[in-house]
Amino acid sequence: MNSIGPLTLLTALPIAGAVLVLILKRAQKLSRAVAIVIAVAALLATLVLWARFDSAAPGMQFQEVHTWAPSVGLTYHVGVDGLGILLLVLSAVVVLMSLAASWRNASHGPVYFALVLLLEAGLFGTFTALNFLHWFIFWELTLLPAFFLVRLWGGPQRGRASVQFFFYTMVGSVALLLAFLALYLATGTYDFTTLAQMAQNGGLAAALQQNLHWGGWSGGHIALILFWAVFLGFAVKTPVVPFHGWLPDTYSEASSETTMLLTGAMSKMGIFGFLRILLPIFPAQMQEMLTPLLWLAVASIVLPAFAAWRQKDLKRTFAYSSVNHLGYCVLGVCVAAKLTGVDPSLAIEKSAALTGVLLQIFSHGLTAAALFWFVALLERRSGGLRGLEDFGGLRKIVPVFCGLMGIAIFASLGLPGLNGFPAEFLIFKGAFPLAGWAATAALLGLLLTAVFLLGILQKVFFGPLGKGQLETKTDTNSSSLPAAMRDLSTTERFALAPAIALMFVLGLYPQLIAGKMAGTVTQWTTPATSATEAYKTTAPKHNAARLEAASGAWLIHRKAQAGKAQVAD
């Protein structure tokens, strides 16, 4: 495995693109076009990988291992499972959407485009890395372009917001690093897969017990401390509620195109961490801490929904709504953690929850990015206004805009037929039997989401004309504002159409994603010492069959997939 594999090339592509964009800096138009072409190419590349990804096989695919700095345990090890490939596609989609949204934004020069491409490279690196140090390097590296994107383009308070963003994330990262240094000391490896295996067969706790002598604590206690340290890192990034202080300011001060990236792609790094690191490496600790974790998850669902309701600013509303939606993911993960032993009756619920989490990752990325795109369009038309009170009755002036944004809002709200519904449905389906009280409490969040999103719909689209448009009419001598608000141009409609179409497709046919995730979810729900071996026995088939029966009509294709895999084996 010494040749350069597809995942390395995929990560290198945006970096090369960024360099090219900077070289062509003088020719503004050309460099932007190059950036878009690179983003499209990256998306196509991820789609090719998606197509070639064996949905039924468990474990990592497209793996690649090189030595890097062996003396510190740093290995270049990349590979993707269902989670990884899903996030690769999502990042490519969101980056392309963001670049497309920036196309007409004159203040976003070539440097902006180059930074976005660098961010994309960082995301690809993060989502493919399987060695902690290698992963951590990319995890930190995404912070840089993100910091500059917030710092250089955005609202008047962007300086403070960017420092806040950087600092919060750094603190989380420091905790992460510390925990993994301790893990490395105990186990001698940074490899996620190896660590997960050790966690499953009890080797991890034994190693901690044996090799770490911290003030007489037992291995279990040390593992718990490490778990909370790692949790802190992801909780800040996702964010989970008490650690979300950086988010509203950052999301609202960054330019909307940047916020698309932050919420669409970067927030998924936290969820990725939950699924790739926390759940496999610390399953026992998650179980032990399940009640506080569920409380945190419920808090991340309900409180931001309340906060969103009270906001007067569209961007802040959507920012809080983003925390709320990611709260469902955290809930799903925590619920899945409840069950680690073999218990077929609940394994179905667990796999429903996990499938829901995966769907929600993609669905929220798509919807949130789309929503902030609409905010960007609105801001540009109104000359920077984005307060809820500034608008009203938009439906009369810009009907197409309102129609499309309405679809996005309904998708975010979870209307059946759109992408939000199957994801949230599956999460709740898993959550109710496993943690009924948490799911019930989380329902309140669902309700509040509906309240504030419909509130936006009512205030902005219906009712009397607001200040945003009135000003554009009375204040005609101000050259910065357009004479009257324009509806979406043909280009913009074409740019938005695929995103909106995807919402419908995923809403009506979630199997598109769920099918690809089958192998991964089966692996997660099969807590055998060696997942590969377990898969070869008949148990998963049995499991898969039960799953289909339980998980509803949209999982109907799974049987065929699983059957195919069996034939292949």
| Interacting residue ranges for another protein, rule: CB under 8 A | 68-72, 136-138, 140-141, 143-144, 148, 151-152, 159, 162-163, 166-167, 170-171, 174, 177-178, 181-182, 184-185, 213-214
Judged by beta carbon, residue 41 or residue 144, the one nearer another protein is 144
Label the pairing between strands 61-69 and 74-80.
Answer: antiparallel
- The nearest distance, CB 174 to another protein, in angstroms, is 5
- The nearest distance, CB 319 to another protein, in angstroms, is 22
- The nearest distance, CB 133 to another protein, in angstroms, is 8
d(C-alpha 238, C-alpha 296), whole Å: 12
Judged by beta carbon, residue 3 or residue 71, the one nearer another protein is 71
Question: Residue 263 is encoded by which pair of tokens?
Answer: 């919420």
Judged by beta carbon, residue 143 or residue 299, the one nearer another protein is 143
Torsion 393-397-399-403 (CA) sign: negative
Judged by beta carbon, residue 19 or residue 72, the one nearer another protein is 72
- The nearest distance, CB 172 to another protein, in angstroms, is 10
Phi-psi category of residue 154: left, alpha or beta, with phi > 0 → left and psi -120 to 50 → alpha: left
- The nearest distance, CB 137 to another protein, in angstroms, is 4
Close Cβ partners of 406 (under 8 Å, ≥ 6 residues apart): 457, 461
Judged by beta carbon, residue 8 or residue 363, the one nearer another protein is 8
Neighbouring C-beta atoms of residue 278, cutoff 10 Å: 23
d(C-alpha 561, C-alpha 56), whole Å: 6
Question: What one-character-per-residue DSSP string does 487-529 give?
Answer: ---HHHHHHHHHHHHHHHHHHH-THHHHTTTHHHHHHHH---S
Going by C-alpha positions, the residue among 514, 381, 424, 503 that lies closest to residue 93 is 503
CA atoms within 13 A on the CB side of 278: 31
- The nearest distance, CB 441 to another protein, in angstroms, is 34
Q: Are 97 and 501 in contact (CB under 8 A)?
A: no
Judged by beta carbon, residue 100 or residue 119, the one nearer another protein is 119
Close Cβ partners of 106 (under 8 Å, ≥ 6 residues apart): none
- The nearest distance, CB 475 to another protein, in angstroms, is 26
Judged by beta carbon, residue 170 or residue 549, the one nearer another protein is 170
